[in-house]
Structure 1
């Protein structure tokens, strides 16, 4: 019996770690692809912002229906559908010929990502009852690993020639997203952990969460932290190409370096967060990330490496906050995760739109400057906003820490 339990635990680790690896790949192959999409389909920065906002909306929608779908079909069937949907979205991207069809394809992809996020978070929270901060950071390390290799491989793959035809961003999406079919194997042969009394607990917890200011502060802090993470993932390549005149390959390598530091931080800093406390850790990480992003905006091209090093600050924010969430709401973890991730999705729609339109609006305020100079200032302003979201995450977490300390629940 013990041997069977250990084997099942290993299979679940494959599901969680493999799922996060695929998650990182699917979310961050867009970095080198977006400039090519923007050029080929003649998309403005505002329309690019709409595309990214649709991502967040699809993610949000999936987070809302996934718990219901899981209760109706079961965790296994839902997980299989999730990975299959992500593979299907790669084919949809391949056949995208305009903004509308591309939005539809991305919408499918982020439905899959949203379902995956909820599913993996719940399974991990149930499975990792000891050393929570360490294990959740280790799980998200694999997201960082996928995110690190994704821009490098995607940029190279887009230049491949097959039968005298360049693969391009469409072919790259098909190949990379087909990897999402691989985790289906351990899903089928594993037994998922079940939480008893989940329905009644979730109903009660949602009522409590809507009246809990700490729950709302967690939502705001995480929304800001996720905005910083995804903002850099989506816009760093564009920034370095348009502001610093880098090639897409060099800019993609810098994005990969960001995710390498992001990944390394999650691998190394997990035990530290367990030791010094989750809230204190997030405050330190958030202010570090924001500062490292702001400095290269106002200095020379030589300090662009600080964008990559910001990954050390941004990397641990999400898993550490989820660990805080799991500890704060030990009775009703599933509901707390769903509540938080759904509201992060709503916030993500707004912030993604805002980034794109900040860049476009400021770029149009030429003030006698050349078009190139105006575009550069627009990108710098947009990136400054991204950096400030990391700072706001730290400020909100400081208030969380103050409130938890006041009621004797320092986490």
Structure 2
């Protein structure tokens, strides 16, 4: 047997390409940065003496940072490559943790949080574009698998955040400021494979690429934006408000409330891990219709039933989970030669919707809290305010399902269902 024969017989060594590690670890740290805020918000609210409307405005202001990053990251990636965009995203999120730690006033804290969301927005676009270029086979499954890592870190983030905030270091409590420094410093880890990775470029020639003006004129593109926006509002609102809701309305402890949020993200994580295969089999549009409807119904029922129905929020997590990765897979399949522009434009407009959504939820909670407080007392008023806010979150998920039905029928008429 000669050397050539031996080389043919010897099995090829399987390995995970570095871009895969960047995507998976990137979504892992992204989940931490997004979902440690749940347990932290009640303490931030206490330290700065701010009300629910101001919390809603803070989250909306942060979404503006996310939106700002989405508006320029696509151009930055096209000109200088995904590597630079990814490194800037991870680096800015790490720096934001330091800024948050040294924020002694609400104004400086808001600016620091805003800066963190700029990093989040840059990472959102960079990872989405990279995933669309890398996952060319079994796109629905691979998109859900990559976002599984977001769900994994989101599951443990509330419990880790609660535990870290209560830790004593050098004779003092770490608190929410120290917790943010430690958690955001994890963004240094994915910078290592990013530095050594060779990322795929956009193979489409300039002539083949779909111009943004063509994408904007496609009615399907606008329905995709609506679907994604409503789904993300439901997802991020649950992460941002659930702990506050359980602590202040049902008098749950901080540990129990954070554990419930972790259960939500556990179901969220399992949904992304297991439903990706189903998404590829039954189709992207059918998946969006079914799962967003489940999320909306479960959220509204959990809110109306009361403390005994809180477990239904976990079911909502299963329904919310596939929405974002499925829409990303839909974009990758429908606009393969214009994916950079499609993702940047879609996520930018989604950011606008999330800004409005965060503000509206805070305003709804504050309005119904004041209304019912004047009639039935402060405690009932606060509970009714939060319930009104969560019913709005459930309605967003239901409207996501309705918009998916409309888009499905539109694509059916044009014989373009994916």
TM-score normalized with structure 1 length: 0.96
For residues 12-411 of structure 1, what are the structure 2 equivalents within 5 Å? 12-197=19-204, 204-365=210-371, 366-411=373-418
CA distance in 2, matches of 1:191, 1:228: 35
Q: Deviations over 1:347-392 (max 9, x none)?
A: 1111111111111111111342111111111110011101110001
How many pairs were matched up?
Answer: 407
Alpha carbons 2:158, 2:259 under 8 Å: kept: yes
**Contact 1:41/1:99, CA 8 A, preserved across alignment:** yes
Q: Distance in 2 between matches of 1:68 and 1:274?
A: 31
Give the structure 1 partner of residue 6 of structure 2.
Answer: none
- Mark the CA change 1:381 to 1:200 in structure 2 (over 3 Å): closer, same or farther: farther
Distance 2:78 2:227 in 1: 29
1:329 shift after superposition: 1.4
Provide the secondary structure at the position in 2 that maps to 1:222: helix
Instruction: Flag the 1:6–1:359 CA change in 2: closer, same or farther, 3 A.
Output: farther
Rounded Cα–Cα distance in structure 2 between residues aligned with 1:355 and 1:173: 25
Structure index of larger Rg: 2
- Deviation at residue 40 of structure 1 after TM alignment: 0.9
- Asked if the contact 1:236/1:255 (under 8 Å) is kept, the reply is yes
Counterpart in 1 of 2:7? none
- Runs of 5+ in structure 1 lacking a partner? none
Aligned-partner SS, 2:305: coil
Which SS does the other structure have where 2:17 is aligned? helix
Counterpart Cα distance in 1 of 2:215 and 2:77: 22
- Structure 2 residue runs of 5 or longer lacking an equivalent are 1-11
Report the Cα distance in structure 2 between the residues aligned to 1:89 and 1:300, rounded to whole angstroms: 37
What is the CA RMSD across the aligned residues, in angstroms? 1.6
Cα offset, 1:97, TM superposition:
1.8
Contact 1:89 1:105 in 2 (8 A): yes
- Following superposition, the deviation at residue 197 of structure 1 comes to 4.4
Deviation larger for 68-77 or 351-360:
68-77
Return structure 1 stretches of 4+ with deviation > 6 angstroms: 5-8
Q: Evaluate the alpha carbon distance shift between residue 207 and residue 142 of structure 1 in structure 2; reply closer, same or farther with a 3 A threshold.
A: same
Change (3 A) 1:199 1:88: farther
Note if contact 2:23-2:127 (Cα within 8 Å) is conserved in structure 1: yes
Give deviations 1:76-95, integer Å, cap 9, x for gaps: 22211111100000011111
The secondary structure found in structure 2 opposite 1:310 is helix
Separation in 1, partners of 2:299, 2:58: 24
Contact 1:205 1:336 in 2 (8 A): no
TM-score, L = length of structure 2: 0.94
